[in-house]
Amino acid sequence: MVQVPGLSKSRFQAGLQCPKRLWLECHAPELADPTSEVQQALFDTGHRVGELARDRFPGGVLVGEDHTQGRAACRTTERLIREGAPCLYEAAFEHDGVLVRVDVLRRNEAGQWDLIEVKSSNSLQPEHTSDAAVQAYVAGGAGLPLSGTYLLHLNRDCVYPGGSYDLEELFTLEDLSGLVEEYLPAIPGLLRQMKVMLAGDCPEVRIGRHCENPHRCQFRGYCRGFLPEYPVTDLPRLADEVLAEFLEQGICSVLDVPLSHPRLTPSQRRVCADIQGGRLRVEPGLTAELAGLRFPVYFLDFETIMPALPLYVGTGPYQGVPVQWSCHILQADGTLEHHEFLHRERTDPRPSLTESLAATLGGPGSVVSYSDYEGRILEGLAQSQPQWAAEMADIRSRLFDLREVVGRYVGHPDLHGRTSLKLVLPALVEGLSYQGLAVPDGEVAMLRYQEAVWGELPQAEREAVFQDLLAYCATDTLGMVEIYRRLAFEVGLA
């Protein structure tokens, strides 16, 4: 019999997602995947938003004990309530083996309390109800007279006017009281089940879609360690029951999946055939697609940032703002030139970025991007910089989505059923990849940019980051050129 550890709101949420996740979190946390830089940045954003949210309820007292001092935090909370504090941040309660910290607790006119959970998301998500409900259950069980439960999240419709944030505008307060009331009766039973499970051995749970939902589980690496190089989990949109069937039959590798398996969808069957075939597949329709490109061909890629807390006037939470672009221009005779732009100041990047785009990408000629995201960015630029609307509309009208074309006409074992540039480039083009780049992907690019422009880096380090960002974005567009060249060669156009 294993000793049952104490629960918290995050452990309760983990247990709802997967009992094995909760068990591992409590008994074997060392098996978790390392926290990535991007995940850490998300946590940091959550903390920043949480701290800002406190100012939305001024006059509160912070219960300062940290997560290792839960009992002391409960005593401080009790004392502050007794002394008449009107509002508490990080109040602590314990009941039924669960210790919770409440983001904001506000005393109302009737002398009762409103419980407010703060999230850095910009909408209400299904899992927020259980999160708030377990807090209400514990606080109520500890004797707190609660009148309402609320969720405070970022307001997706907020438009930042500049200066200090208007917190009434920046946040949306949603009343969850009804949903929480409905959820409360289920909690004692759920907690009982979790405690029984935690007292036993690690439960057996198969990997499946629940590993990503509502949050990517930190034990993915551990639970998927048995999978071979071409795992069946690579098959796109594989239903949990089909995955379970495969694993039960000992089929862990795509190489072992029978192509005639009746539950495979056409796209899954194609991925199996590509991996089992072991070579590049090019469908005949690709010739006509590539032949439709008009020279000079512009290979365009943007890097954007999506700050939770808006940085530029006229933008809102999580709005994508382009800060950089790279463009390789391929002439019909095969010559190639490169242009790029990177905004290095704290000012709004969009005016100068839009002007530079218009100056470089004036037609004619197709504009190749690697997703439909570039089209949405151009649309946003046309709206925010109306003086360039015609130029942005012209560039949009010439867009050619290479990713979509690759997805429709190209297969290769090393794509693992996906079409991301990071996989397609090394699979199709020898000697060109993202290995060795200081910025390996778009998420890290976003982080680095914000550190360089909005952080306190010394000048030399800032400049080094800018060079890394330029190299990364240029690799994206040069990669597109080389993918195009390889495919054009394959279909006899080069």
User: Phi, psi (5° rounding) for residue 197?
Assistant: -60, -40
Q: How far is the CB of 408 from ligand SF4 (least distance, A)?
A: 32
Q: How far is the CB of 136 from ligand SF4 (least distance, A)?
A: 26
Nearer residue to ligand SF4 within complex by CB, 184 or 205? 205
Nearer residue to ligand SF4 within complex by CB, 214 or 320? 214
Nearer residue to ligand SF4 within complex by CB, 130 or 304? 130
| Edge-to-edge strands, sheet with 367-369 | 336-342, 321-330, 297-305, 367-369, 399-401
Q: How far apart are CA 346 and CA 93, in angstroms?
A: 43
Amino acid at 319: Q
CB 487 within 8 A of CB 282: yes
Nearer residue to ligand SF4 within complex by CB, 181 or 201? 201
Nearer residue to ligand SF4 within complex by CB, 157 or 248? 248
Q: How far is the CB of 307 from ligand SF4 (least distance, A)?
A: 30
37-54 vs 442-454: helix crossing angle, rounded to 10: 50
Q: How far is the CB of 192 from ligand SF4 (least distance, A)?
A: 20
Q: How far is the CB of 32 from ligand SF4 (least distance, A)?
A: 9
Nearer residue to ligand SF4 within complex by CB, 64 or 221? 221
- Letter string b/e over residues 163-183, b meaning 16 or more CB atoms within 10 A of that residue's CB: eebebeebbbbbebbebbeeb
Distance set, CA 174 to CA 127, 149, 274, 492 (Å):
14, 9, 48, 59
Nearer residue to ligand SF4 within complex by CB, 20 or 396? 20
78-84 own/partner pairs: CB under 8 Å, 24+ apart? 81/144
Q: How far is the CB of 6 from ligand SF4 (least distance, A)?
A: 20
Q: How far is the CB of 219 from ligand SF4 (least distance, A)?
A: 4
| Burial (CB count <10 Å: 0-12, 13-18, 19+), residue 247 | middle
Binding site for ligand SF4 (CB under 6 A): 17-18, 20-21, 24, 205, 207, 210-211, 217, 219-220, 223
Distance set, CA 342 to CA 202, 320, 322 (Å):
50, 15, 9
Q: Which residues contact 393 (CB under 8 A, 6 or more apart)?
A: 378, 382
Amino acid at 249: Q
Nearer residue to ligand SF4 within complex by CB, 211 or 361? 211
| Residue among 246, 250, 247, 274 nearest 261 (CA) | 246
Tokens of 258: 């029978």
Nearer residue to ligand SF4 within complex by CB, 23 or 57? 23
389-397 vs 373-384: helix crossing angle, rounded to 10: 160
